[in-house]
Structure 1
Amino acid sequence: MISLAFGINNDIELNGVIYPLDLDFSTVLRIFEMFQDDDLEEGYKFAGVLMGIAGLSEDEILDLNDQDKIDLYLKITERITNSFANEVEAEKEFDLKGNVIHEEIKKEDYNLTEDAPYIFASFYKDYKIDLIESRGNLHWDKFNALLVSLSDETKFKKVIEIRQMKETDDMTSEQKIALKKAKKAYALKSSQQAIEFEEMDIKQKREWFAKQQRKSGELIE
């Protein structure tokens, strides 16, 4: 976390040993992309964290006992995900009737990999920061603080607003159709399937379930 008084701590201590971490935003983002790659084995991801963030060599990893490897991995992942989570924790404001009138962005509203073009354009618009040129010069914690502070006029924030928007009773049919199209256009891959499922009729939903069961071998013809 950022402290104006003490700066940013880039070290992790384990059993009396200090491990300096590479917390450049581009390094951390590469780790997150690795986490999302289903084709990579878990062991590769495990080693990727120790090597990519802690800068350990294969020999240094081998010198650690199994418990220390696990503890160090957990400390590192907690460090990069907690700073991320703390910056984007949802905060809601309500009117006198209990209706939400303002809601900050939440982690599930965006994906740092999928939304990279929007984030790049938005950083340049608000801060004149070229994130490609800033690799190696922008700390992960600073990146997160700037990310959640982007103005509402940026592309990133507008996309988030569309993803968060819900239909209301006072919307016209045309407005509801336009909203559905916009949400589908900007849906994350993780949300795309749910949106497509909601658009299916009963028969299509049954066929979809049957197809998923066949894939998992649960359906006996």
Structure 2
Amino acid sequence: MFSLAEKLESSVEIDGKEYELDLSFDNILLVFKVINDKEIDDLSRLFVCLDLLFIRNDGEELPFQDNLMKQVEIYKNIMEKVIARGKKQKQKQKLDLAGEPIEGEPKTQYYSLEQDAEYIFASFLYYYNINLFHEQGKMHWYEFNALLVSLSDDSMFKRVVHIRQQKVTKDMTAEQKEILKEQQAMFALEHSQNDVDFESMDLAEKREYALKQLEKEGGVMNG
């Protein structure tokens, strides 16, 4: 949990030894970018993320360089206990710190730290007079996150998120519905809601969904 009574976390203890971590906000965003890169295989993703997270002297190896299972354990502990520490969402839809749905939760995604970078940058500059480019390598991830969630509802970032969350209601006029539809199309994330929902299904559910879509399009023959 974020606490003003404690120093910001900057290291992790592994088997009794302390290791320094690079927890600057831009480095963590880079870690998330690697995690979400579908062109990188799981093993390479693990090594790249650990290489980004650990601060090492020239020639110094990563902890347990030759023990893959131990490295997987270290990676999971850092992601769960350091980077996501104290970040428990109370709303029905829970997202992790990368803006991705938490496993087991509804899969609606309302923001992306990468795709919404311009809105976040503009909002920090306008409301806090903070140029995030000038803070690269300096601002701690916890500081960045505290400021992000505390942005005014009038900030561009929060307004965009609100538009994505809005639902069409019965009391809306046809014009209001059309405006909302246009706004949501304008600010839509890279993956549509259908894509997100589909990826959350298991194989049986995906097959059923695909068959229903084919039936709607007249692509399934009777009998």
Q: Is TM-score (shorter-chain normalized) higher than 0.5?
A: yes
Aligned-partner residue type, residue 155 of structure 2: T
Q: CA deviation at 1:48?
A: 1.4
| Superposed CA offset, 1:21-45 (max 9, x none) | 1100000000101111111121121
Give the distance between the partners of 2:161 and 2:217, measured in 1 at CA: 30
Give the corresponding residue for 2:67: 65
| 1:105/1:193 CA distance change after superposition, 3 Å | closer
Give the distance between the partners of 2:94 and 2:63, measured in 1 at CA: 40
Give the corresponding residue for 1:122: 123
What TM-score results when the alignment is normalised by the length of structure 2?
A: 0.75
Give the distance between the partners of 1:4 and 1:45, measured in 2 at CA: 33
| 1:90/1:183 CA distance change after superposition, 3 Å | farther
Give the distance between the partners of 1:210 and 1:158, measured in 2 at CA: 40
What TM-score results when the alignment is normalised by the length of structure 1?
A: 0.76
Give the corresponding residue for 2:85: 83
> 1:90-105 residue pairs with structure 2 within 5 A?
90-91=90-91
Q: CA deviation at 1:59?
A: 3.7
1:28·1:80 contact (CA, 8 Å) conserved in 2? no
Give the corresponding residue for 1:55: 55
Q: CA deviation at 1:194?
A: 5.1
After superposition, the CA RMSD in angstroms is 3.1
Give the corresponding residue for 1:153: 154
1:105·1:148 contact (CA, 8 Å) conserved in 2? no
Give the distance between the partners of 2:218 and 2:64, measured in 1 at CA: 47
Q: CA deviation at 1:65?
A: 2.2
Worse-superposed segment, 53-62 or 164-173: 53-62
Give me the identity figure in percent. Answer: 36
Give the corresponding residue for 1:217: none
Give the corresponding residue for 2:41: 41
* Number of residue pairs matched by the alignment: 192
Give the distance between the partners of 1:155 and 1:35, measured in 2 at CA: 26
Q: CA deviation at 1:77?
A: 1.6
Worse-superposed segment, 142-151 or 47-56: 47-56
2:64·2:70 contact (CA, 8 Å) conserved in 1? no
Aligned-partner residue type, residue 77 of structure 1: M
Give the corresponding residue for 1:30: 30
2:50·2:75 contact (CA, 8 Å) conserved in 1? yes
Q: CA deviation at 1:62?
A: 6.0
Give the distance between the partners of 2:82 and 2:17, measured in 1 at CA: 19
2:22·2:55 contact (CA, 8 Å) conserved in 1? yes
Q: CA deviation at 1:58?
A: 7.5
Match of 1:109, SS state, is: coil
1:184·1:192 contact (CA, 8 Å) conserved in 2? no
Give the corresponding residue for 1:141: 142
1:21·1:53 contact (CA, 8 Å) conserved in 2? yes
> 1:173-192 residue pairs with structure 2 within 5 A?
173-191=174-192
Q: CA deviation at 1:51?
A: 0.9
Higher helix share: 1
